[in-house]
Amino acid sequence: MLAVQADGRRIDTVEGLANGNTLSDLQLAFRRRHALQCGFCTAGILMSCEDYLQREPNPTEDDVREMLSGHICRCTGYTPIVQAVLDVAALRRNERVVEEVNHA
């Protein structure tokens, strides 16, 4: 995308996923599942996964693989990435249930 196309729009970056020095749940899951690749595409994959999880809280493995199909990474078979995304989806669903109970 050209910079002029982003004029007036919000731009999120991978650095914004962390809270200061504390990695996000997604970043931690990537580390735990060894889903980090060479570094060239990891930032884009993390951002796609974060956006996806915000829109789809209950994905299946096939759903996650379909979402990732737009990325071309030669370092991986995507299995650790898929597992990391599914881990975070499950974690967030549990947290959401606890929050709803606490606010009721």
- Spatial CB neighbours of 17, under 8 Å, sequence gap ≥ 6: 23, 24, 26, 27, 46, 47, 50
pLDDT single digits (tens) 72-91:
877 777 999 999 999 999 99
Taken in order of first residue, the domains within the chain and their CATH numbers are 25-103 (1.10.150.120)
- Give the predicted TM-score (pTM) of the model: 0.83
The whole-chain average pLDDT of the chain stands at 88
